[in-house]
Structure 1
C-alpha cells in the first residue's frame, strides 16, 4: 500500500506570541523524550471538499498555536540530559498525502499506521525537529485521516488531548474553551527545597528495574523483535475481572493486575523472578492545591508496584490488585514534591529517559521483560473530535510496540468496555493473547 506525499508546510502562529526561553519542569525532562503519534479517521460528507478540509485544518492550526505557542517552539539540550524550551514561533509541520487504498483497509491494519503520520528524524539535532507534526491523508474512498505526532517532552496525554480538542473547536468556528497554563514553576524544584531531601529515598520509580535472573544487563532483551496488538475487553469481561478480584478494586486496578499476571505467565518467568509494573499517575488533582486548570505540560509520575512472579501467578488476582493500589495511593503532594527534588539534584538525567534521543544515553530505564509499564487513557476526552465535518469514525494510538508497554483506552461507545494496546516480544505475544482471554473465561 503506497502513500504519496503531496505537500509539506510550516504552519506558524496566526499572530505574534511570547518569545523567550521557558524552563521545563523536572517531570518534563524524564520519561519518554520522543514523540507520540495518534490517528483519527473521518468520513466527511460528500459535499465537503478535500481542499476545504485541508485549508480549514491549516488555518485553525495557525490560530490555535497562538494560545498553545509552546508547541511552535524548539527544544535545546542544555547539559547532562536536561532540556530547555525556546519559544520562538518556528512553527509546526503540516503534511498532505494521499493513498490509493480505502480508509477501511488502512483502519483495520495497524501495521500500516506508520504510513499515516509524520516521522521524526532523530539523527538531526533536537532543535531542528518540530514539536508537533500533522499529516492529513486522503483515501480513494473519500475518507481522510489526521495523524498527530507530538513531543512527549512538552505534553502528557491530558495536555495533548486538551490541544486537540481546542484545535477542533477553533476549526468548527467556536471560541477557545480552556486556555493552556504554561508556567511550569508549579512543578519545578524549589529554592530552598519544598520537602526534606531525605524523603526522596523512597522513590522506587527512579531505581533501575529488575533484570532477568542470571543476567547482568538487559542488552539481549532490548535486541529482541517486538510486535503490537490491540485487544478488546467487553464490559462483561471487565466486570468478571473485578469480581475475581473480590469486587473491591477499580476496573483499572483489576485489568492492570490481570495484564501483569498474564505477562508473567506468557513470558515463562521463574517463580522467584522479581518483577515490577510501572503505573503512570496523573498528578493534577493529587497536588495541594490542585494544578491550575489547563496546566500544559507533563503532570505525571510513575508509581511502581513490585513482587515475585510466583506470588503474582499463584495467588488470586486480588493480590496483584492490592499491591497496585498500594503503589498508587502513595502518590500524594508530598510524595510528588520529594520526587521532583530528587530529580532536581541529579547531576545527569539521561538515565531517567525512555526511548531516548539524548546523545550518549544508554536508556537504562527499560521496562521490558520481566517488567511492564501501563498507561491509562481511560479518563481522557479521546472521542468525538469534530473539526467541522463530523466526529471521527475511528481513533487509535498509531504505534505502541515498545516491549512491555501497555495502553488502556475506553471503547468509543462508552459502555464500559476496554481497549488494550500493547507491545511485547514476538516470541511471547501469542501466548499472552491466549492466557489473557483464557484466564477470564
Structure 2
C-alpha cells in the first residue's frame, strides 16, 4: 500500500484557559498507550475540508482530546487542557493512497495499515486523525487516541458525535465530565485486594508482585480477523445452552468457545492456569447507573481462570459458565471498593499490573468487547457507507477484541493476536464445533 501525505495541521484546543484535571483512579488503571482503529467508507464521502471543519467543532465538546498528559502542582498525574503547548491540540493529516479501496477489501489487520495513521511509532498528541483518500473516492479514517483520556465507549460517542456535527444533527445528550459517582465512602472501605489485580505496589518489599516478562521479536506475532456468522453463533449457543442450566449471552458463549480454542492452539500444559482479563464497563455496574454520555474511563477487568486440561475437556458450556461467574464477580461493590482504593492510595506511584507484561501474554488473554458500543453506527453522510471497522495492527500476543460485523449477514468479527506458529492451528480449528 503506497500512501502519500499531502498536508498536516494541528487543531488547537477549543479553550485558551489552562486547567489541570487530575486523572481518576480509572484513568490511571487504563493502559498508557494509544489505540489505533480504522474506519473505511465507500464513496461518495464528504470532503476533507468538511470533515476537518466538523472535527474542529466537535472538539469543543471533547476538550480533553486536545490536552496533554502531565502532572499538576502537587505532582499528581493529570491532563492539561487549554493554553499553548507543543503537544496540545489534535493532529490531522491528509493523505492519498495510490490504489482503489475496493482492491484492499475486505480489510484485515496488517502492519501496512499503520501507514493510514500519522506517526504510528511515536504519537505526540492524545488524538491523531489521518484522512486517507483512495482512488475512485474511497475514504479510510485512521483514528489514534490515548487510552488514559477515554475508554472505548467514550471514543465511540466522540466519533458518532463527529458524524452528527458533519451532518448538521445536534449532539443530544451532550457529553459531560462531572464525576459524582467517584465519591469514596466515609471512611473508605477497600473490600477487595486491588494490589496484584489492578496495580503493582512499588516498594522495597514488593517482591510478591514480581512478574515474569516474555518478549519475542514482533515479526513472530500475527493478527487474525475471524468472522462468525449469525448461523454459526445460533448453533454454538444452542449447543452450549443445551448443556447448561443458564442461558448464556452471545459474548459469554463465543468468548468461552475461543478461550478453549486459543488454549488448544497455544499447546499449554495440562496443569497450566490460563486467565482471561475481560473489560467490564462500570457505567451499568454502579448504582445509580452512570449515564452513557459520561466521557472518560470507567472500566475494570474481570479475571476468569481455569487449568488448561479442565477447560478443554469441560466443553463450551463449562467455559461459558466460568466466563459468566468471572464477570458477575465485578459488581457494584467491587467498583466502589476500587474507588475507595483510589482515595486511600491515590497519592502513591501506581503502576497497572499489565504494564509489566512483555509482548507475549500467554497463558493470559486480554479481552475487549466492542459489541453494543455503537461503532457500527458511525455515519459521516455523503451517501457512502461504513464498510470496515477494525483495530489496525497490534504487535502483542494474546488479545481478543469482539466487534459487530459489517458484513451483509451480520454476526461478530473477532480480532485475535497470536504467535504465528500458534495462529496456524487457530485458523484450522476456529470454526470447528465440538
TM-score normalised by the chain length of structure 1: 0.86
Work out whether 1:11 is the aligned partner of 2:4.
no
Q: 1:232–1:91: structure 2 CA closer, same or farther, 3 Å change rule?
A: same
**Cα offset, 1:172, TM superposition:** 1.0
Q: 1:75–1:320: structure 2 CA closer, same or farther, 3 Å change rule?
A: same
> 2:24 & 2:4 partners in 1: Cα distance?
39
Secondary structure of the structure 1 residue equivalent to 2:164: helix
**Cα offset, 1:402, TM superposition:** 2.1
1:359 aligned residue: none
Alignment check: 8 A CA contact 1:75 1:83 kept: yes
Q: 1:366–1:274: structure 2 CA closer, same or farther, 3 Å change rule?
A: farther
1:387 aligned residue: 380
Measured against aligned partners, the alpha-carbon deviations of 1:364-403 in whole angstroms (never above 9, x if no partner) come to: 4877111111111110111242223133222222224421
Work out whether 1:201 is the aligned partner of 2:193.
yes
**Cα offset, 1:414, TM superposition:** 8.0
> 1:207 & 1:319 partners in 2: Cα distance?
30
> 1:416 & 1:392 partners in 2: Cα distance?
13
> 2:64 & 2:48 partners in 1: Cα distance?
23
Secondary structure of the structure 2 residue equivalent to 1:38: strand
1:231 aligned residue: 226
Alignment check: 8 A CA contact 2:29 2:198 kept: no
Q: 1:134–1:105: structure 2 CA closer, same or farther, 3 Å change rule?
A: same
Measured against aligned partners, the alpha-carbon deviations of 1:306-353 in whole angstroms (never above 9, x if no partner) come to: 111111011121111111111111222211111233355263322435
Secondary structure of the structure 2 residue equivalent to 1:402: coil
2:371 aligned residue: 378
Unaligned runs of 5+ in 2: 201-209
Secondary structure of the structure 1 residue equivalent to 2:318: helix
Alignment check: 8 A CA contact 1:241 1:254 kept: yes
1:358 aligned residue: none
**Range with greater deviation from structure 2 (228-237 or 340-349):** 340-349
1:240 aligned residue: 235
**Cα offset, 1:187, TM superposition:** 2.9
Alignment check: 8 A CA contact 1:226 1:401 kept: yes
Unaligned runs of 5+ in 1: 209-215, 355-362
Secondary structure of the structure 2 residue equivalent to 1:29: helix
Alignment check: 8 A CA contact 1:31 1:353 kept: no
**Range with greater deviation from structure 2 (134-143 or 412-421):** 412-421
Work out whether 1:428 is the aligned partner of 2:422.
yes
2:52 aligned residue: 58
Work out whether 1:155 is the aligned partner of 2:150.
yes
Paired positions, count: 411
- Please, what is the CA RMSD of the aligned residues? 2.7
Work out whether 1:297 is the aligned partner of 2:296.
yes
> 2:182 & 2:358 partners in 1: Cα distance?
22
> 2:258 & 2:65 partners in 1: Cα distance?
34
Secondary structure of the structure 1 residue equivalent to 2:267: coil
1:325 aligned residue: 324
Secondary structure of the structure 1 residue equivalent to 2:256: helix
Work out whether 1:368 is the aligned partner of 2:389.
no
1:73 aligned residue: 67
1:352 aligned residue: 353
Secondary structure of the structure 2 residue equivalent to 1:61: helix
Alignment check: 8 A CA contact 1:81 1:348 kept: no
Alignment check: 8 A CA contact 1:203 1:339 kept: no
Measured against aligned partners, the alpha-carbon deviations of 1:117-141 in whole angstroms (never above 9, x if no partner) come to: 223554x8xxxx2110000011122
Secondary structure of the structure 1 residue equivalent to 2:390: strand
Alignment check: 8 A CA contact 1:38 1:396 kept: yes
Alignment check: 8 A CA contact 1:33 1:353 kept: no
| Equivalent runs, 1:399-438 vs 2, <5 Å | 399-412=393-406, 417-438=411-432
TM-score normalised by the chain length of structure 2: 0.87
> 1:234 & 1:152 partners in 2: Cα distance?
30
Alignment check: 8 A CA contact 1:181 1:295 kept: yes
Alignment check: 8 A CA contact 1:106 1:113 kept: no
**Range with greater deviation from structure 2 (99-108 or 376-385):** 99-108
Measured against aligned partners, the alpha-carbon deviations of 1:198-230 in whole angstroms (never above 9, x if no partner) come to: x1227874388xxxxxxx964344556211010
Work out whether 1:40 is the aligned partner of 2:39.
yes
Secondary structure of the structure 2 residue equivalent to 1:8: strand
1:91 is matched with which residue: 89, 92, 96?
89
| Equivalent runs, 1:55-204 vs 2, <5 Å | 55-77=49-71, 83-88=77-82, 90-107=88-105, 108-111=107-110, 112-120=112-120, 122=122, 129-184=124-179, 186-187=181-182, 190=184, 192-194=186-188, 196-197=189-190, 199-201=191-193
**Cα offset, 1:105, TM superposition:** 2.9
> 2:99 & 2:253 partners in 1: Cα distance?
39
